[in-house]
């Protein structure tokens, strides 16, 4: 009898579908944590395939989680993204991701650094083969407005909310992408 299971056969009515386990990514280790505007960056190194991924967040735990979620995104899509910048912005913070395969940059805003990092990742996840990002955050009556765009084809989107995070989420959801 085989010690490993290579696949499972599911029977649905008279349809049989073979299901194989997903290829697992190799492990990641934290190399360094450091402060950055709004919180922390956690620098990780991963194997199989090799990757260096920086995660940003308001806490070291949030930053580590964002790095690991970017690793999961790489494993699912083949696109490697890593944070490379955080800075203060109107009402909160901005995070910039750089990605390869295809090469692109993603800028996103949030009230906290964790929120900005999550929005950047989610913008990339909704359209892995496109260039999407926020381009403007500004104070408006009752809160904030976030504007952004995607390429291939070009679409412009915006959202408002009482916080930068809610405006950014509404902008992403209004994009019609994904």
With tokens 């805003």, the residue in question is 109
Annotation: CATH topology of 28-174: Double Stranded RNA Binding Domain (3.30.160)
What are the distances in angstroms from CA 147 to CA 30, 127, 134, 155?
A: 34, 17, 6, 11
**Using the 8-state DSSP alphabet, how is residue 78 labeled?**
S
Q: Structure tokens of 86? A: 């955080």
Helices 113-126 and 164-174, axial angle in degrees (round to 10): 0
Region 163-170: mean pLDDT is: 98
CB-facing half-sphere around the CA of 174: CA atoms within 13 A: 18
Asked whether residue 164 carries a pLDDT value surpassing 90, the answer given is yes
Whole-angstrom Cα distance, residue 77 to residue 71? 10
- pLDDT tens per residue, range 38-70: 999 999 999 988 999 999 999 999 999 999 999
Whole-angstrom Cα distance, residue 36 to residue 30? 16
Asked whether residue 21 carries a pLDDT value surpassing 90, the answer given is no
Contact between 143 and 124 under an 8 Å Cβ cutoff? The reply is no
Backbone angles phi, psi at 27, to 5 degrees: -75, 160
- pLDDT tens per residue, range 77-129: 999 999 999 999 999 999 999 998 778 899 999 999 999 999 999 999 988 88
Whole-angstrom Cα distance, residue 62 to residue 40? 9
Which value, in Å, is the radius of gyration of the alpha carbons in the chain? Answer: 19
Whole-angstrom Cα distance, residue 37 to residue 163? 19
Asked whether residue 20 carries a pLDDT value surpassing 60, the answer given is no
């Amino acid at each position: 009898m085989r010690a490993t299971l290579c696949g499972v056969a599911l029977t649905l009515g008279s349809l049989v579908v073979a299901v194989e386990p997903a290829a697992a990514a190799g492990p990641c280790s934290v190399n360094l944590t450091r402060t950055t505007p709004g919180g922390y960056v956690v620098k990780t190194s991963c194997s199989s395939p090799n990757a260096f991924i920086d995660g940003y967040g308001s806490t070291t735990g949030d930053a580590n989680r964002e790095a690991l979620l970017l690793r999961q995104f790489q494993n699912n899509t083949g696109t490697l993204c890593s944070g490379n910048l955080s800075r203060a912005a109107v009402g909160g913070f901005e995070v910039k991701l750089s990605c390869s395969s295809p090469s692109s940059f993603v800028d996103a805003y949030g009230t906290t650094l964790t929120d900005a990092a999550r929005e950047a990742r989610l913008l990339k996840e909704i359209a892995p083969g496109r260039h999407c990002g926020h381009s403007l955050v500004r104070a408006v009556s009752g809160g904030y407005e976030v504007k952004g765009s995607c390429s291939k084809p070009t679409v412009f989107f915006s959202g408002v909310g009482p916080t930068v995070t809610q405006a950014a989420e509404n902008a992403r959801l209004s994009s019609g992408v994904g």
